[in-house]
């Protein structure tokens, strides 16, 4: 199995019943490795820490983050940047003001597909094809595509105008990003583009 570039691959779940549909980006993967059960992601900075994992949580950052620093950030969080054995899912917001994002991408390795979601069998696991991009390259590619689409400066991003309720004068939108470790044990990651307001 292989996705094309950064396209989604939802057909492998066709006809399979799941508690959490992996392509449904409105839901989040739980923490944990399953040995002692799974723990729901709680979006509270202290009490919401992953009890069985050293790394987790989410961070928001601007569109001008330099690649070398972002690489260091990923390494600090022990993101498996060199993996190619994953599927990715893209989803666009239907209402960016209400949804608080523009586009998001979830990355799920085959290990999670087999042993967490149980949506592929041993034969499919063994035949799983690598992606063209490493996880790190996929994250950079996602950001580059969003920068090209939306622009990077609040004074010159007409496609972003009004996406977060800005008035085009006192408050203008600028592109930013969010990154989350959904599950550190299974290496499930999510990145999304967002608009934030630059005010006078």
The pLDDT assigned to 126 comes to 95
pTM: 0.82
Rounded CA-CA distance 13/24 in Å is 11
Please report whether residue 39 resides in a domain. Answer: yes
The pLDDT assigned to 118 comes to 85
pLDDT per residue over 119-165, tens digit each? 889 999 999 999 999 999 999 999 999 999 999 999 888 999 988 88
Rounded CA-CA distance 119/12 in Å is 8
Of 22, 5, 23, give the one whose Cα is nearest residue 141: 5
Domain region containing 36: 11-199
pLDDT per residue over 66-121, tens digit each? 889 999 999 999 999 999 999 999 999 999 999 999 999 999 999 999 998 888 89
- Give the CA angle between residues 160, 190, 36 to the nearest 5°: 150
Please report whether residue 149 resides in a domain. Answer: yes
Burial class (CB in 10 A: 0-12, 13-18, 19+), 198: middle
Which segments within 25-170 are labelled E, that is strand?
A: 31-34, 37-39, 57-62, 86-92, 103-109
Please report whether residue 93 resides in a domain. Answer: yes
pLDDT per residue over 157-174, tens digit each? 899 998 888 888 888 999
Please report whether residue 53 resides in a domain. Answer: yes
HSE value, Cβ hemisphere, 13 Å, CA-based, for 47: 2
Please report whether residue 118 resides in a domain. Answer: yes
Of 194, 184, 200, 189, give the one whose Cα is nearest residue 39: 184
Please report whether residue 6 resides in a domain. Answer: no
Please report whether residue 1 resides in a domain. Answer: no
Rounded CA-CA distance 191/60 in Å is 10
Q: How many domains does the chain have?
A: 1
Please report whether residue 4 resides in a domain. Answer: no
């Amino acid at each position: 199995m292989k996705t094309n570039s950064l396209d989604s691959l939802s057909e492998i779940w066709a006809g399979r019943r799941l508690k959490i549909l992996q392509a449904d980006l409105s839901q989040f993967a739980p923490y944990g490795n399953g040995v002692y059960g799974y723990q729901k992601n709680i979006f509270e900075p202290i009490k919401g820490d992953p009890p069985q994992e050293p790394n987790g949580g989410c961070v928001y950052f601007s569109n001008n983050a330099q690649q070398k620093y972002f690489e260091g950030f990923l390494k600090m969080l022990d993101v498996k940047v060199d993996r190619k054995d994953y599927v990715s899912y893209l989803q666009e917001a239907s209402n960016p003001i209400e949804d608080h994002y523009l586009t998001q991408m979830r990355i799920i390795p085959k290990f999670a597909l087999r042993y967490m979601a149980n949506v592929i069998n041993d034969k499919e696991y063994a035949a799983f094809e690598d992606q063209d991009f490493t996880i790190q390259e996929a994250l950079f590619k996602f950001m580059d595509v969003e920068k090209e689409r939306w622009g990077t400066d609040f004074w010159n991003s007409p496609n972003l105008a009004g996406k977060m309720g800005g008035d085009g004068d006192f408050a203008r939108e600028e592109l930013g990003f969010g990154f989350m470790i959904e599950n550190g044990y299974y290496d499930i990651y999510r990145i999304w583009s967002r608009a934030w307001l630059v005010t006078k």
